[in-house]
Amino acid sequence: MVVSAFRRTVIEAQEAMMAMRKRVEHGGTIRSRRDMLKAGVAGVVAATGVVRAAAAQAPAPRATRGSAAGVAGARLNGPLFFDVETTTGVVRGMANTGIKIFRGIPYGADTSGANRFMPPRKPAAWTGARHCLGYGPISPQTASGFRSDYAQLIQWDKHIGTGGMSEDCLSLNVWTPGVNDNAKRAVLVSFHGGGWATGSGNGPMYDGGQLALLGDVVVVTVNHRLASFGYTHLAAVGAPTEFRSAAVCGVMDMVASLEWVRDNIAAFGGDPARVMIFGQSGGGAKTSTLLGTPAAKGLFHRAVVQSGSTLRLADEAAAEKSADMLLQKLGLTRRRVAEIQRLPWEQLLQAQTEAAGAAFTPVMDGKYLPHHPFDPSAPAESKDVPVIISTTLEDAALRLTNWDLTESGLIALLNERYKDKASEILDLYRPVSGGKTPYLVQAQVFTDTQVRSRAIAQAERKAAQGGGGAWMYIWEWATPAFEGKLGAVHGHDVDASFNLYRNGICGTGEKTGRLMAKRLASTFVAFAKTGNPDNDQIPHWPTYDAVTRATMIFDANTRVVNDPRAAIRKYWSQNVESTAADE
């Protein structure tokens, strides 16, 4: 009876909306915005009342992890709320435009206290239906500043405050067109950017709704431990053996999230045999690392690395130095290192920020991570996994703020950095940088010598391995935001890959931005579904090899170019700065 009443209220609301539309179609008017919203809101409110009535008739819920509680009662299967059974309990999500959204699903237990620096543990099971309507907490991290135009453009400050912050951060979010339907849709799992230190799967650039709607796919975003909480090499500073995984536990978190996908995604309409992992910047570094992680083998079947090609991880000597610096700021000696689990997480984060020069990234420990991801060659663990590798034309602009750089200033800058070679460098760039400001030419130079150099090396090594193919693209379409001064900046293709044409970096609904977002998102969907990026939104895209170097150029005129910027690539391959220590 309760379920019938619930459905009846929704149907009544839908009928009211249809009547209003017909009135408009036949020349009627809507008196106010309130009239326009009234029918839909009334239906939701009434339906909510029915759900509350159902809950009132059921036994009181048992409190579970964090502030969540299991809601006892009949399972819900639409049209507004949907329940799905996972290996640890039932989760309840909510539909929007046919997409069922589940936020803050735990895939691991709280990592505080005795679980700090330990491998992830399974979450405790719960009874009833767990509300997964809001995002879960994110890993402790510092905030993005308000003064950076770039940070404001990508809304990086919005990560903090959306879901809170704590060590109880092992959660993921799911967007899917259907649940419990055995549809076996391709699954796209995103690992967020922000290096290894900031960000979350909750941010506005990782909303999976539009991508799931466009491609009839399941989208998953992941939260995991970051910086000192996930990558402090305590074993190198005398910690007891139980801390042996402290330098890689953040990678273990990501593997655990993929194990959750393997075990649960079918109930969310996904296919555990068609899982694509992807990430940009720090997310690209994570994806690169997972491609070479033995424990991740078989958990994913395609991969995309966007502006984050990582060839090598931190070595143990550098990681030991960083761990020592952290202990010093915490006031702990090596003999007292185990006490680090008793400190408040706020104290640990504060010490991390004060340890100037310390870096907390995964360590090639020879055990869990037995080798570097792509050095000296592509990893055997993912030989059969096809990979797309990419950069943006002006990736390096994210850290540059000398907007008023002049031509003479550019010459002086390049002469200083590259030993009086500005003239020969600029001769290479003039044919490909027409109309670009000196600021953006500078950004192209720094991109070619750093992130693009690593991307080319990664693609060459993947192609040479055989097995799954390699594809390369350069995103050249410049963002119109902030008067276009940032060009095709780092991260521009993230929003596009999620089909988030509404976001500022894609032009806030501007026509070309919509087109570019659809092109890239459709390409990711095709790749996730088939292992081949070809689709009707782009030209045929050949695989990359060291001879033809076929590269898709994503621009208003999206096209394939063999060995684009060839003279520049050859020049920097002979004169490039060292890229051994990846960012």
- Between 71-80, 371-380, 515-524, the lowest mean confidence (pLDDT) is in 71-80
What pLDDT shows up at residue 71?
65
pTM across the whole model: 0.88
Q: How far apart are CA 478 and CA 444, in angstroms?
A: 13
Domains 70-316 and 386-575 belong to one CATH topology:
yes
- Between 81-90, 148-157, 257-266, 273-282, the lowest mean confidence (pLDDT) is in 148-157
Strands 129-131 and 89-96: parallel
What pLDDT shows up at residue 72?
67
Question: What architecture is the 386-575 domain classified under in CATH?
Answer: 3-Layer(aba) Sandwich (3.40)
- Where are the domains positioned within the chain? 2-57, 70-316, 386-575
- Which CATH fold would you assign to the domain 70-316? Rossmann fold (3.40.50)
- Do 144 and 199 contact (CB within 8 A), yes or no? no
Segment 361-377 shows an average pLDDT of 96
Segment 553-565 shows an average pLDDT of 98
Please, what is the average pLDDT of the chain?
89
Segment 86-100 shows an average pLDDT of 98
Neighbours of 97 (CB within 10 A): 9
pLDDT score of 152 more than 60: yes
Burial of 420 (0-12, 13-18, 19+ CB in 10 A): exposed
pLDDT score of 165 more than 70: yes
What pLDDT shows up at residue 69?
52
The DSSP annotation for 454-476 comes to HHHHHHHHHHHH-SS-EEEEEE-
pLDDT score of 348 more than 50: yes
The 10s digit of each residue's pLDDT in 309-345 is: 999 999 899 999 999 999 999 999 999 999 999 999 9
List active site positions. Answer: 281
Q: How far apart are CA 380 and CA 462, in angstroms?
A: 10
- Do 141 and 85 contact (CB within 8 A), yes or no? no
Residue percentage of the chain with pLDDT more than 90? 85
